[in-house]
Amino acid sequence: MSRRFDTVVHGGRLVLPGRVFPGTIGIRDGVIAAIGDDASEFASAEAIDAEGHLVLPGAVDMHVHFRDPGLTDKEDFSTGSAAAAVGGVTTVGDMPNNKPPITTNERFVSKRDDVATKSHVDYVLWAGGVHPDEMPGMAASGAIGFKVFMNKFERPDGAEWTGKESPLSPELFMDDDARLLDVFRTAAALRLPVAVHLGNQDFTRRAMFPWANKPFSEFARAMRAEPAIEYLESAQKCVLFARETGVHLHFVHVPAEVLPIVRDAKASGLDMTVESLCPFMTFDLIEVLGPLGYHRYRPPESVSLLWQGMRDGLIDAVATDHAPHLLEEKRQGFADVLNCPSGYPEVQTSLPMMLDEMNKGTITIHQLVRLMASGPARVLGIQHRKGSISVGKDADLVVVDPDSEWTITNEQQKTKCGWTPFDGRRIRGRPVLTVLRGEVTAREGELVAARRGRLIGMP
């Protein structure tokens, strides 16, 4: 006898933990209610035909910058989440690099309430880990964790930060080791992670101040030889403080040079996780893209180490650090490197490009799912709802055509800034349908449903 569901997904190959098989998913009240291999046992009013395709859990991009509030000429929660949905991402983690930065409970609540009706995907909100006395309030208001920045925007001419030239607001900068230790202690007591943007402002200042008012081309070669000492120093310090406090320590966009520290820390039993950027921006593109790829260029040996860390499980998650800067802001780097903001928009293209790497044999389908769904869900502490196709979890799915060959273009991008550094790149593998809590939200590169994303993490 068949069982009744609100929606049934049938005909595709389901990618479940440890196996891939032809199966059917029954969805009821937005939750996966049943999984089976006999489609005749599933009946519903709505059916999604995934014939010939893979069915993956919706991707979780735990590190995006949707710029809302304060910098919405670049992006807002509606446009950023639209790009996510079209790209097969069903949950995002938005960072506190806003204007003003999210460093107090008052600002956190204001942002939380302001974006509540804007999102096309589910989301969590990171808070700035600057003031220990503000952290309990932000946790009670729904913060998923605390972001610590070990760098800030600074120019030798003392120019004021505007948010256009750099995402590194001075107000988010952690310049006091005693206070950093207090932030770790407070987060540990709240049982929430601390996500650290590694760096050392003294080293950064020494390396970058000579670049001021000079063109990108003059320093393109020097960028290849940037020393890793600031990342190594700050990573060692954070590991020491994590051992002292017992906090869940998370490194964002971890440099390859730091991976030996991560390996040793994990082997010692430290509660530690790390995320990597999608390592697509290699130095062989620097002559083609110039400042559009700044500050993401990596040497081949570092890229190889990152891929290896993803394959062997040392790296827990891949996240985009989606940075929707306007093209004119990025192009400022042609004349003045320090006026060029770091990063680029990527939340829409990350899953397709990782599928392309899967097709090339760089990673397996199970490694992809771990890096882009189950891994980030575990880091965020939302694995009971997100990250895998399992009974009882939210019915967040992405139907993928693994064999589709297509070209990424600027015109496809839903981000408000309207461009991608990968414009013109030919890849294989494409999300064709995105499902959020049982409802189709995007199909064939276009949104098909109203905004219905929810904040995850409220007590």
Tell me the pLDDT tens digit for each residue of 327-337: 999 999 999 98
Share of the chain above pLDDT 90, in %: 85
Give the Cβ contact number of residue 299 at 10 Å.
Answer: 16
Pick from 111, 153, 152, 82: which is nearest to 324 by CA?
82
pLDDT tens track for 325-363: 999 999 999 999 888 999 999 999 999 999 999 999 999
Mean pLDDT computed over 255-269: 97
Of 164 and 175, which is predicted with more confidence?
175
Strands laid side by side in the 24-28 sheet: 31-36, 24-28, 3-10, 42-49
122, 169 in Cβ contact below 8 A? no
Calpha distance 256→298 (Å, rounded): 9
Per-residue pLDDT tens for 369-411?
999 999 999 999 999 999 999 999 999 999 999 999 999 999 9
At 345 the pLDDT is 98
How do residues 411-457 score in pLDDT, each as one tens digit? 999 999 999 999 999 999 999 999 999 999 999 999 999 999 999 97
Place of tokens 């910098």: 71
For 305-425, where are the E strands, in sequence order? 317-318, 397-407
pLDDT of residue 459: 44
Question: 76 Cβ partners below 8 Å, 6+ apart?
Answer: 66, 67, 68, 118, 416
Instruction: Return the pLDDT at 458.
Output: 53
